[in-house]
Structure 1
Amino acid sequence: MRKRRGLTITAWLLGTLGLVLLVGSVVFSVASYSTATVSSDSMAPTYTIGQRIVYERVGGDDVRRGDVVLYMAPERYQFNESVMQRVIAVGGDHVSCCTGLGTPRERITVDGRPLDEPYVKDGVADGMHRPYDVTVPDGRLFLLGDHRVNARDSRFFTWDHGGTVPATAVRGRVIDDYTVPVLLGVAALLGLLLALAGLGFGIAAWAVRRRVTPPLPPWPVQA
């Protein structure tokens, strides 16, 4: 009896803990992260065509300069898919192009300070010869692709709020550090193993109960 009770308690504890851990990590992962495939080279060389990326589901208010984000702008691009570009300036920033235009020292400036952009392809900060001088309205973002020669970004829509995009259009921020998603995956696996262990202990408790129950005699018994 004592052995059966111990097995039953262990089964309930492990099973419950495992299910909570499994369901919780899966729900959190689905709610917080997703994946996408790069479909153009506008963000090369940082991200290339066919590359699978992981992005964190955050709003535009949570992104900062330098973040690579996915956003929706169907009125500009005539499709309902996400566009991936880098945040160059946020609400209140003054962004302009360019110092040293057409030279190896070509730089975009934000609030008068030249940006150091090691991520741009071939070191070209502009490449399209589209000078701009924009003060980003509050609640909006100025976005550029890393492949400045082949990116249809904020530079092409200066007639619309200086080419800026509303922060509410942001669907997520691309991440390069997979520590949290990996930990969530480990937690889900651990939860599954604990749930299976709980099931195993439950089966063991049932087997013990079956063994200790005395069989009924094959003849009638009078009280």
Structure 2
Amino acid sequence: MDTEAKHTERDRSSAPEAGGEGEGSRFARSADPSGRRSSRPSGGLGKRLSGLSWRTAGLLGVACTVLVLLFSHFVLQPFQIPSRSMEPTLQVGDRVLVNKLAYRFGSQPERGDVVVFDGTGSFVQEGVKENPVSTLTRGALAALGLAEPAETDFVKRVVGVGGDRVVCCDKGGRVEVNGVPVDERYLHPDDVPSEVPFDIVVPEGTLWVMGDHRSNSRDSRDHLGEPGGGMVPVDKVIGRADWIGWPVGRWTSLEPAGAFSRVPDPGRMPGGAHG
């Protein structure tokens, strides 16, 4: 019957030709309009190449992430500003770039530096434990500037270093460091230098730090009666905030505050050494 003939003819054309490539061959044949046969890569090879590309892209992504995390851990880390305590210098949502090499080669924090530090033991009670998985995840995201920092990390301005006598306030309502009044033009315009009076001497190896938005900042003043007296150990400083990297409209470097340029070293205070 005609039906059987058609089936037979189709079966013959689909069988492997002598000396040709079969079903599992590297190339599959197809006819073009002119009657000639052409060869093209089989679907299996395309899938293998596609799989290789995805694997390669995945490995490159992992490698890049590891390199970025290492760079962030040792050299330069984005730090997301979570509060208004440093306004107007830093605003909520800013990403500052923290230079972790600033104090690695013998240099010490200076008056006027904006620093990021671990407040464990000074601003935060020791022994507070968090879920290790969530801590690790948040730490990785924070290292990339994609999440708020840990609750133990703070950003403040250094007002006094080891040996300094810091007093507030003088007759003009200003903070004095080693007997010299400081003109703190970086303060929030609605603030006074401090509504809390204090007269302290900063122990060696520690820092007295304050926010630029004094009425909205929990800083060294708030921990005067606690162990450590509100002082931040220098070895707890993570790095110096040198640049605002985000948002784009706020790109700028954070220059050292000139307000402390006239402040003498502790041993050369006006009227002699402090008591």
**TM-score scaled to structure 1, two decimals?**
0.60
Higher helix proportion (structure 1 or 2): 1
Query: CA–CA distance in 2 between the matches of 1:32 and 1:151?
Result: 28
SS of alignment partner, residue 91 of structure 1 = coil
Query: Hey, what does 1:210 align to over in structure 2?
Result: none
Q: How does 1:13-52 map to 2 (within 5 A)?
A: 29-30=71-72, 31-52=74-95
Offset at 1:162?
3.5
Q: Which amino acid aligns with 2:208?
A: F
Q: How does 1:1-223 map to 2 (within 5 A)?
A: 29-30=71-72, 31-57=74-100, 58-59=102-103, 62-75=108-121, 76-77=123-124, 80-100=151-171, 105-122=172-189, 124-127=191-194, 129-159=195-225, 160-176=227-243
* Runs of 4+ residues over 3 Å off in structure 1: 25-30, 58-61, 77-81
Q: Which amino acid aligns with 1:91?
A: G
Identity %, equivalent residues = 35
Structure having the higher Rg: 2
Q: Which amino acid aligns with 2:170?
A: T
Query: CA–CA distance in 2 between the matches of 1:81 and 1:33?
Result: 19
SS of alignment partner, residue 122 of structure 1 = coil
Q: Is the 8 A contact 1:88 1:142 kept in 2?
A: yes
Alpha-carbon RMSD: 2.6
Provide closer, same or farther for how the CA distance between residues 116 and 126 of structure 1 changes in structure 2, counting only shifts above 3 A.
closer
Greater relative contact order: 1 or 2 (C-alpha under 8 angstroms, separation 6 or more)? 1
Query: CA–CA distance in 1 between the matches of 2:99 and 2:157?
Result: 15
Structure 1 unaligned spans of 5+: 1-24, 179-223
Offset at 1:28?
8.9
Offset at 1:125?
3.8
Query: CA–CA distance in 2 between the matches of 1:177 and 1:85?
Result: 15
SS of alignment partner, residue 176 of structure 1 = strand
**TM-score scaled to structure 2, two decimals?**
0.49
Q: Is the 8 A contact 1:134 1:162 kept in 2?
A: no
Q: Which amino acid aligns with 1:77?
A: V
